[in-house]
């Protein structure tokens, strides 16, 4: 059984502009690994999947996705991600911040202007605003 069929999950597709910049950012700096890479022919645009632990992202030069897409990436330790980013030359848009809804979040922009919102849930007492009927 492949790792993708073991559980239900989503795989967001992020558009990338530059293959090498994306590999440097996701693999070289954030510690993802490439698990699949496909081009119809040499020199054609790439479609690839990267993973780090249980986090999987698809990266595409095919115009799939939209520049500036925002993806929540749920992690166990946002502070560790912050330190890893700083140690590897990735400048988060802002340091981890406790949000009023109870999560701590740190936004990071990739080289193609996609926003990764690195999020640790339930880090503090939060406020919920239920829908009013």
Q: What is the pTM of this model?
A: 0.86
Structure tokens at 49: 């999947």
Q: Residue 89 is part of which domain span?
A: 13-120
8 A C-beta contact, residue 67 and residue 114: yes
For residue 8 the two structure tokens come to 């239900």
d(Cα 127, Cα 133) in Å, to the nearest integer? 19
Look at residue 7 and tell me if it is in a domain.
no
- Can you tell me the distance from the alpha carbon of 73 to that of 57, in angstroms, rounded to the nearest whole number? 10
The CATH number of residue 41's host domain is: 3.10.180.10
Q: Is residue 57 part of a domain?
A: yes
Q: How many domains does the chain have?
A: 1
- In this predicted model, what pLDDT tens digit does every residue of 3-31 receive, in sequence order? 555 578 889 999 999 999 999 999 999 99
């Amino acid at each position: 059984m492949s790792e993708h069929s073991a559980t239900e999950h989503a795989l967001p597709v992020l558009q990338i502009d530059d293959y090498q910049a994306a590999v440097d950012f996701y693999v070289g700096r954030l510690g993802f690994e490439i698990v699949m890479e496909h081009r119809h022919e040499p020199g054609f645009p790439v479609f690839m999947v990267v993973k780090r632990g249980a986090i999987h992202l698809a990266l595409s030069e095919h115009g799939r996705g939209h520049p500036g897409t925002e993806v929540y990436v749920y992690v166990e330790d946002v502070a560790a991600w912050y330190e890893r980013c700083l140690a590897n030359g990735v400048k988060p848009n802002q340091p981890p911040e406790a949000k009023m809804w109870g999560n701590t979040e740190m936004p990071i922009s990739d080289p193609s202007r996609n926003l990764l919102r690195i999020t640790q849930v339930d880090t503090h007492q939060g406020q919920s605003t239920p829908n009013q009927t």
